[in-house]
């Protein structure tokens, strides 16, 4: 797998990722958000919610008027059933008409007009009221005049065509005990058992006080209570007012509880009470405000959802990119490692073959070749050990064997085995080992490997000033092992990353130097397992100092896997 091909594949999968994210996630979600937004805007523009509420209000008013009408007609029909027949004698008719009134205190006047003329009676209890008496005289006279005229017959015909054969009309009247305008509802009707050819007409006048103080408030209250609240918990209120007011003010004659000041949202002219109209609204809040609040809430919600979606998308992209970066690092690692394995193997093979051919005659040269073969195989072992350790750590199987160890001895031995390589590469080695250190409980092999990795890095990344210092000393309650070089150094931004697996800095020298990116991650794992730490202090262009700190009262626990 060569590097160039690797790069092309990386670019291609990124492209594929963007296409997939775009087609499978971004486009549908963006379309959904767009549709929702435009729908909400249309809602806002067309005042859809408000229109729906108004429609609802309209229906409520219709229902309310219907039940009012039902009650009005029932009262009239009940009284009409007790009306005297026009064929009775005058005193009986009079008595029966009086009885109609005494049975139903909700009527002020009642009359019967027949061939014998107008019989007009008024509720006795109200007879003292000047307004009522005046009304009695005027009404009695005007209706008699009307019905006796030619129009009387025509009116009977009209009545016979009306629902219930009742004609309703309302007129404003004056009453002492009523605040503001009072309304009188007048019902004119024909009697059921009388021939439609005869001009016989009955009349009932609803008491304005009863209408205003009892009947209408009760009806409004009943309607309002029936529809206590909508899904949003808003309570409704209703009122009745004089229709077609000149000043356009809808001042309530009667209102249900909760009708504060304010205009009705929807009005309906009443057929049962001609001249009056009903109005409806929500208690304390206008439909417009409700609609606006709803749209605002929906926009905010949609905004939050969109942000969450975008956040999710960014997160996904970030995660996937990270995974892809790790995948790329892994494949770089494979390519680097295979190269690293190949170099010592090629050297071993070359020197072994040369020896085999027997062309080398001097003992000195032979010795040198053997040494190279040994060193190269040691390098190979080191590399393979690194890889094996790494895979054990990854699988969570890595175990450490802690033993009381003379750490100075361990460091010196490791340096001795590496000294040849150090010197051969032209490095000045400074050893500062404190011989008086107490025994520390460590995994010898692991500490030696950590030191080797750190020294190997110092060698690899010091192209100019070839200097290496290895210092072992005691500080407070711990032992410190310092490996210092005068190499290329590491930027502070990258100092935290170099301990991650596969990570390699962007320095061109690092790029051209073979490496797996595993060494420091192993060192960190080893230091963690010992309850210690690994730190770096470095200046780019000046050099680096890695410090491995091990606690003196060494831990003897088997290492927890740390990736």
* Nearest CA-CA partner of 380 in 429, 340, 432: 340
Least distance from ligand ADP to the Cβ atom of residue 373, Å: 23
The structure tokens listed for 178 are 């009523």
Least distance from ligand ADP to the Cβ atom of residue 548, Å: 13
Rank residues 163 and 508 by Cβ distance to ligand ADP and give the closer one.
508
Rank residues 382 and 515 by Cβ distance to ligand ADP and give the closer one.
515
Rank residues 367 and 497 by Cβ distance to ligand ADP and give the closer one.
497
Q: What angle do CA 486, 490, 495 make, to 5 degrees?
A: 130
Least distance from ligand ADP to the Cβ atom of residue 510, Å: 4
Rank residues 36 and 513 by Cβ distance to ligand ADP and give the closer one.
513
Cβ(99)–Cβ(112) below 8 Å:
no
Q: Which residue has the tokens 């523009």?
A: 45
Rank residues 103 and 511 by Cβ distance to ligand ADP and give the closer one.
511
CA torsion through residues 414, 416, 421, 427, sign: positive
Helix, coil or strand: residue 345: helix
Q: Name the site residues for ligand ADP (rule: CB under 6 A).
A: 453, 457-458, 460-461, 485, 487-490, 498, 503-505, 510, 515-521, 544
Rank residues 272 and 472 by Cβ distance to ligand ADP and give the closer one.
472
Rank residues 242 and 393 by Cβ distance to ligand ADP and give the closer one.
393
- Which CA distances in Å does 19 have to 23, 25, 29, 306, 317? 6, 10, 14, 20, 12
Q: Would you call 415 exposed, middle or buried from its count of C-beta atoms within 10 A (0-12, 13-18, 19+)? A: buried
Least distance from ligand ADP to the Cβ atom of residue 491, Å: 10
Least distance from ligand ADP to the Cβ atom of residue 527, Å: 13
Q: How far apart are CA 141 and CA 189, in angstroms?
A: 18
Q: Which residue has the tokens 């309302």?
A: 170
Least distance from ligand ADP to the Cβ atom of residue 497, Å: 8
Least distance from ligand ADP to the Cβ atom of residue 549, Å: 17
Cβ(75)–Cβ(104) below 8 Å:
yes
Helix, coil or strand: residue 283: coil
Contacts of 101 (CB under 8 A, 6+ apart): 107, 109, 110, 121, 122, 123, 124
């Amino acid at each position: 797998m060569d590097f160039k091909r690797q790069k092309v594949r990386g670019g291609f999968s990124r492209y594929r990722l963007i296409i997939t994210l775009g087609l499978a996630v971004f486009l549908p979600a963006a379309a959904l958000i767009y549709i929702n937004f435009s729908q909400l805007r249309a809602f806002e523009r067309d005042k859809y919610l408000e229109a729906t509420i108004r429609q609802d209000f309209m229906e409520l008013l219709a229902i309310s008027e219907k039940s009012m009408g039902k009650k009005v007609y029932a009262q009239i029909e009940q009284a009409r059933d007790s009306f005297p027949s026009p064929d009775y004698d005058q005193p009986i008719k009079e008595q029966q008409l009086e009885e109609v009134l005494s049975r139903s205190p909700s009527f002020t006047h009642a009359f019967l007009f027949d061939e014998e003329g107008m019989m007009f009676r008024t509720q006795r209890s109200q007879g003292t009221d000047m307004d009522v008496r005046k009304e009695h005289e005027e009404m009695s006279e005007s209706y008699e005049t009307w019905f006796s005229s030619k129009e009387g017959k025509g009116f009977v015909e009209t009545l016979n065509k009306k629902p219930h054969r009742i004609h309703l009309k309302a007129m404003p009247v004056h009453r002492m005990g009523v605040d503001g305008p009072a309304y009188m509802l007048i019902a004119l009707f024909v009697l059921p058992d009388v021939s439609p050819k005869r001009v016989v007409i009955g009349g009932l006048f609803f008491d304005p006080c009863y209408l205003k103080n009892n009947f209408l408030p009760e009806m409004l209250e009943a309607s309002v209570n029936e529809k206590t609240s909508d899904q949003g918990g808003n309570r409704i209120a209703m009122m009745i007012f004089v229709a077609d007011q000149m000043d356009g003010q809808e001042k309530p004659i009667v209102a249900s509880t909760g009708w504060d000041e304010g205009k009705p949202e929807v009005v309906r002219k009443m057929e049962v009470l001609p001249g009056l109209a009903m109005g409806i609204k929500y208690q304390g809040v206008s439909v417009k405000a409700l609609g606006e609040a709803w749209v605002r809430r929906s926009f905010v919600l949609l905004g939050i959802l969109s942000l969450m979606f975008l956040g999710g998308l960014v997160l996904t992209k970030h995660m996937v990119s990270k995974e892809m970066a790790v995948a790329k690092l892994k494949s770089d690692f494979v390519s680097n490692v295979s190269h690293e394995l190949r170099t010592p193997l090629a050297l071993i093979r070359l020197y072994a073959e040369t020896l085999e051919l027997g062309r080398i005659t001097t003992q000195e040269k032979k010795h040198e070749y053997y040494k190279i073969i040994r060193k190269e195989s040691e390098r190979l072992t080191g590399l393979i050990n690194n890889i094996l350790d790494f895979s054990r750590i990854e699988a969570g199987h890595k175990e450490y064997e802690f033993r009381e160890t003379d750490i100075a001895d361990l460091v010196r031995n490791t340096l001795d085995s590496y000294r040849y390589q150090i010197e051969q590469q032209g490095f000045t080695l400074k050893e500062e080992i404190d011989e008086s250190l107490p025994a520390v409980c460590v995994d010898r092999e692991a500490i030696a490997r950590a030191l080797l990795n750190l020294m190997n890095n110092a060698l690899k990344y010091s192209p100019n000033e070839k200097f290496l210092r290895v210092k072992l000393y005691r500080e407070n309650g711990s032992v410190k092992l310092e490996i210092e070089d005068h190499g290329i150094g590491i930027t502070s931004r990258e100092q935290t990353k170099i301990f991650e697996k596969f990570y390699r800095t962007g320095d061109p020298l690092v790029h051209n130097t073979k490496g797996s990116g595993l060494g420091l991650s192993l060192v960190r794992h080893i230091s963690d397992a010992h309850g210690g730490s690994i730190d770096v202090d470095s200046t780019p262009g000046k050099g680096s100092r890695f410090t491995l700190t091990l606690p003196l009262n060494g831990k003897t626990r088997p290492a927890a896997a740390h990736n």
